[in-house]
Amino acid sequence: MRNFWQEESGGRLVRRQHGRISWSQLMSLGVSSATAHRWARTGQLVRVLPKVYAVGHTAPSREADLWAAVLYAGLGAMLSHASAAHHCGLITYPPEVIHVSTPRVKVRSISGVIQVHGGRELARVLHDGIPVTSIAQTVLDLAASEEAKLVRRALAVLDYRGSLDREALERICGRGRRGSRELREALAVHRPELARTNGELEAAFLSLCERFGLPIPRFNVWLEGFLVDAYWPAHNLVVEVDGRAAHSSPAQLRNDRRRELALRASGRTVVRYDWALVVHAPQDVYADLVRLGVPG
């Protein structure tokens, strides 16, 4: 086996696929069924999914798992939906299962591991060496299957990168295409500032500003040597939002106080809202911001 994988074709393929290979690829490389079965019996091939193997060992990595899912779905398969969006950096967290689309129609999903979307003849592109659906298709699939906030996040990231193609997104929407209505709605309320938010609570604070008609602050800007969560320059107002598990240790609290002293010494007002206020009492946050001079 060592000599086989030292050969250019086999070794290059496995390296590109992060140590994973399918049974059909082995056959296409000229490996006999008897030889492949012997390698599997002796542990030189390790089954990770039906008809998908790790070569030599099962060293885990996210990329190896993604490739295994693509190989499982067969010829022409690609990452899609939230898995493609996460792999392309459009959303922050990966879905619980890996989503793949394939032109094949008889590939079963594996509960808790892989969701297969079959019978899809789609163009494939490579992102960091792994085949994925096009950006427009990825965003459409995201709109069809996930919450609106994830779609808006993806649009904001594309805008921040300078690669938001509204015409392509509008073209891909059409009668009978799942996600079209949701994608159009997300485009209608698109906010590029979402790409600057860091985490769920900052995104929720932006949504609060939208809900109550407040001007959108600048997110994650440097002031007096500190990175602040949100800032209204016109009102010299800094807002810090504290997540459910953040800012609880003595060291964190001391650092918060130092930040606030430095920012106040520069003539700025600093207020702090926690998860419970932003998420469960947004009207109280709104009223406080208006009292501080933010036009409502």
- Rounded distance between C-alpha atoms, residue 32 and residue 41, angstroms: 14
Predicted pLDDT at 250: 77
Cα–Cα nearest to 88, from 145, 18, 142: 142
Predicted TM-score (pTM) of the model is 0.86
Predicted pLDDT at 247: 53
Cα–Cα nearest to 206, from 156, 131, 159, 268: 156
Cα–Cα nearest to 37, from 26, 28, 29: 26
Contact between residue 52 and residue 25 where contact means Cβ atoms under 8 Å apart:
no
Predicted pLDDT at 233: 96
Give me the phi and psi of 198, to 5 degrees please: -120, 95
Tokens of 32: 């006999």
- Which of the residues in the chain have pLDDT under 70? 1-8, 244-248
Task: Delimit the domains of the chain by residue range.
Answer: 1-55, 61-193, 197-291
Predicted pLDDT at 73: 97
Cα–Cα nearest to 232, from 189, 295, 176, 175: 295
Predicted pLDDT at 59: 76
- The string of pLDDT tens digits covering residues 90-112 is 999 999 999 999 999 999 999 99
Predicted pLDDT at 227: 94
Predicted pLDDT at 296: 80
CATH of 197-291, one of 3.40.50.300, 3.40.470.10, 3.40.960.10, 3.10.20.30: 3.40.960.10
